[in-house]
């Protein structure tokens, strides 16, 4: 399945805010994040460690645990039965939505599988929790088909996790994630613990099964080169906010935000071998964010207004999103971004 930009979004996230209440103070890990995901689209989410990428993923799965809390926002998934706001579901409905509406491929496959249960039993347990009326034989057949779809032999069904390599464990996690053909798949750095060859194989597998079941994909990671190869769009996150969202080709040929420019400039280049350019300074603590634009202390293009005012998001004529004072002037190419209606869920359970 290819991306259909003209169809209604599969996922629409509006004004999502996630806060952690700690002894040191209140930390806003995800701050007013809004984006949409088209049917069949692959969206890459990049940024430095601690910028809120994994918190965003866990919030969409309603797996934020105390002292964390989903303060506000909505996450609407389009299904065959209509639109579903994940944050408005009760605990039982959200449990059923996991795997069937939205699924999560964890970062650490080594720790995600139960070491004392065979792979097949863990897949059967997942199916029994969602389709208890299905016979055991039908569940086993579906589980083995899922293993085959990620290029594993059916015999893996009878193996324990310790009998598998790291790449095979990651493929098992992918197989579990697609068991019920979800509309949205979130892959949280699924290749971080794998060698380069296996990384590419696992990513090819994820993209293949995502296309087979017609799902949309959010891939969280640090590897800008990987994003350039397999994603349709890339969202750049900094200090809990989205600072740029763009089609992948446009992002790499004409990045709009200084942070995106710095990330791309830090990539090794064949024409400049041996020279490495890092980002100056360190990412700020979410407990003590700088005033105004959080990136301004590290930005070579910072202006006086950057230290005083948080930049408002702007959508360009070609649909790109950027939040930077360099693009505040509204002209024929830039128009203000539409304001998404906030939907408060301050009293909703966080997980």
Residue 1 has pLDDT above 80, yes or no: no
Largest CA distance in the chain: 67
pLDDT digits (tens, 9 = 90+) for 4-38: 666 789 999 999 999 999 988 899 999 999 999 99
Helix, strand, or coil (residue 317): coil
With bands split at pLDDT 50, 70 and 90, how would you rate the model's confidence at 267? Answer: confident
CA neighbours within 13 Å on the CB side: how many for 303? Answer: 9
- 192 near 107, Cβ under 8 Å? yes
> Which pLDDT belongs to residue 338?
36
What the block records as the tokens of 209 is 């099964």
pLDDT at 350 over 60: no
Neighbours of 230 (CB within 10 A): 16
Cα separation of 333 and 144, whole Å?
51
Question: Tokens for 313?
Answer: 């998001």
Looking at domain 11-113+175-222, which of 3.40.50.300, 3.20.20.70, 3.10.150.10, 1.10.240.10 is its CATH number?
3.40.50.300
What is the residue extent of each domain of the chain?
11-113+175-222, 255-336
Distance CA(259)–CA(295), nearest Å, equals 7
Q: Which whole-number Å values give the CA distances from 345 to 17, 69, 71, 75, in the listed order?
A: 10, 10, 6, 11
pLDDT digits (tens, 9 = 90+) for 134-166: 999 999 999 999 999 999 999 999 999 999 998
Residue 275 — pLDDT band, cuts 50, 70, 90?
low
pLDDT band at 329 (very low <50, low <70, confident <90, very high): low
């Amino acid at each position: 399945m290819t991306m259909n930009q003209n169809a209604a979004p599969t996922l629409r996230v509006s004004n999502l805010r996630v806060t952690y209440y700690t002894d040191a103070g209140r930390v806003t890990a995800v701050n007013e994040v809004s984006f949409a995901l088209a049917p069949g689209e692959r969206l890459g989410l990049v940024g430095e460690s601690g910028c809120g990428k994994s918190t965003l993923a866990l919030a969409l799965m309603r797996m934020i645990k105390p002292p964390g809390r989903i303060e506000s926002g909505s996450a609407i998934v389009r299904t065959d039965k209509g639109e579903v706001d994940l944050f408005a579901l009760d605990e039982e409905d959200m449990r059923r939505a996991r795997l069937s509406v939205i699924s999560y491929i964890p970062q650490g496959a080594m720790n995600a599988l139960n070491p004392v249960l065979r792979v097949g039993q863990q897949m059967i347990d997942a199916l029994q929790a969602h389709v208890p009326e299905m016979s055991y034989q039908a569940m086993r057949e579906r589980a083995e088909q899922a293993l085959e779809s990620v290029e594993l032999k059916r015999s893996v069904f009878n193996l324990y996790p310790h009998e598998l390599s790291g790449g095979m464990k990651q493929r098992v996690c992918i197989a579990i994630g697609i068991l019920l053909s979800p509309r949205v798949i979130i892959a949280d750095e699924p290749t971080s613990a794998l060698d380069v060859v296996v990384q590419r194989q696992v990513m090819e597998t994820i993209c293949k099964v995502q296309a087979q079941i017609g799902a949309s994909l959010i891939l969280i990671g640090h590897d800008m080169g990987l994003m350039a190869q397999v994603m349709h769009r890339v969202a750049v996150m900094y200090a809990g906010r989205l600072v740029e969202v763009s089609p992948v080709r446009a992002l790499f040929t004409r990045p709009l935000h200084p942070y995106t420019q710095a990330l791309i400039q830090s990539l090794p280049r064949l024409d400049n071998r041996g020279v490495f350019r890092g980002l100056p300074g360190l990412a700020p603590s979410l407990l003590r964010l700088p005033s105004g634009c959080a990136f301004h202390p590290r930005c070579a293009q910072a202006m006086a207004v950057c230290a005083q005012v948080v930049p408002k998001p702007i959508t360009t004529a070609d649909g790109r999103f950027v939040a930077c004072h360099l693009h505040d002037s509204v002209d024929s190419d830039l128009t203000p971004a539409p304001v998404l209606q906030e939907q408060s869920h301050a009293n909703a359970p966080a997980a």
